[in-house]
Structure 1
Amino acid sequence: MAHRSRLAGFIIDCQTDDLDAAASFWSRALGMTVADPDAGDEPGTYVNFGETPAELAIEVQKVDHPSRVHLDIEADDIEAEVARLETLGAKKIEFIKRWWVMEAPTGQRFCVIRMRHPERGSTPNHWD
């Protein structure tokens, strides 16, 4: 199915009880400001940074699994993008709320999310 997708951003997964301290460290380390200190569906789960390069979404997320960094791919048709990535060798891990957690053939986890602002940032790839 024809659709569009592109890199949405990077999520810094932090296994921590103090998300504010983690966000403070990463905002200073990366030279970015905190744009939304309470960006998640549940309070205290996400912190969004502002004025990021190429308007990428860069966030700190509180998680239960070991700390790591993962990337998000955004698409205007999530299921079509997941199917495309499966043909490349990725596999579905879990559907969470509105997005798919997937795993690359090399083991890295990433998410496929809904495209937020197709008119902003880099031009999305067109897939037929």
Structure 2
Amino acid sequence: MHHSRLCALVLDCQDGDLASAAEFWSQALGKPIKSTDEEGDGKYATLETAQDELQILLQRVDHPSRVHLDIEADDQDAEADRLEKLGAKRIGFVKRWWVMEAPTGHRFCIVRKQAEEFGPHLNRWD
């Protein structure tokens, strides 16, 4: 048995100026900037959201800009297995998450549990 839930909306930004991208999305979405350098490596920025909202993460990438979803799981491999049975494909393991592709061609990630408390809207999978 494992648990998972939709946890983040990720804005993949090909533009190298993540601070400017965070400023735009902060103003567009009405969410204050939490950090323009979340991990100290210049690759991630975050906007402030309430505990019961999706996280909004900006990520500097080499591929064209797009939006993808993150699913958090307390067992990433079990979640990847479950989604493969539904038709998804594993693209690769990057740092600490699985990059997956849905049968529709959309990319998404399975990430580790993001907060001490798993939060609302939790799914239980046997």
- What TM-score, normalized by structure 2, do the two folds share? 0.93
Instruction: Provide closer, same or farther for how the CA distance between residues 118 and 105 of structure 1 changes in structure 2, counting only shifts above 3 A.
Output: farther
Look up the equivalent residue of 2:119 and give its one-letter code.
G
Deviates more, 1:21-30 or 1:109-118: 109-118
Look up the equivalent residue of 1:34 and give its one-letter code.
I
The answer for unaligned runs of 5 or more in structure 1 is none
The residue aligned with 1:66 is 64
Structure 2: how far apart are the matches of 1:61 and 1:73? 16
The residue aligned with 2:19 is 20
Runs of 4+ in 1 over 4 A off after TM superposition: none
- Pairing of 1:71-82 with structure 2 (within 5 A): 71-82=69-80
Distance apart, 1:69 and its partner CA: 0.3
Deviations 1:79-110 (A, max 9, x none): 00000000000000010011000000000000
Structure 2: how far apart are the matches of 1:106 and 1:51? 29
Structure 1: how far apart are the matches of 2:98 and 2:47? 23
- Pairing of 1:1-128 with structure 2 (within 5 A): 2-40=1-39, 43-52=41-50, 54-117=52-115, 119-128=117-126
Structure 2: how far apart are the matches of 1:81 and 1:118? 19
SS at match of 2:52: helix
8 Å Cα contact 2:49/2:56 also seen in 1 = no
Look up the equivalent residue of 1:38 and give its one-letter code.
D
Look up the equivalent residue of 1:33 and give its one-letter code.
P
Q: Percent of counterpart pairs with the same letter?
A: 56
Look up the equivalent residue of 2:99 and give its one-letter code.
V
Structure 1: how far apart are the matches of 2:22 and 2:41? 14
Structure 2: how far apart are the matches of 1:97 and 1:63? 14
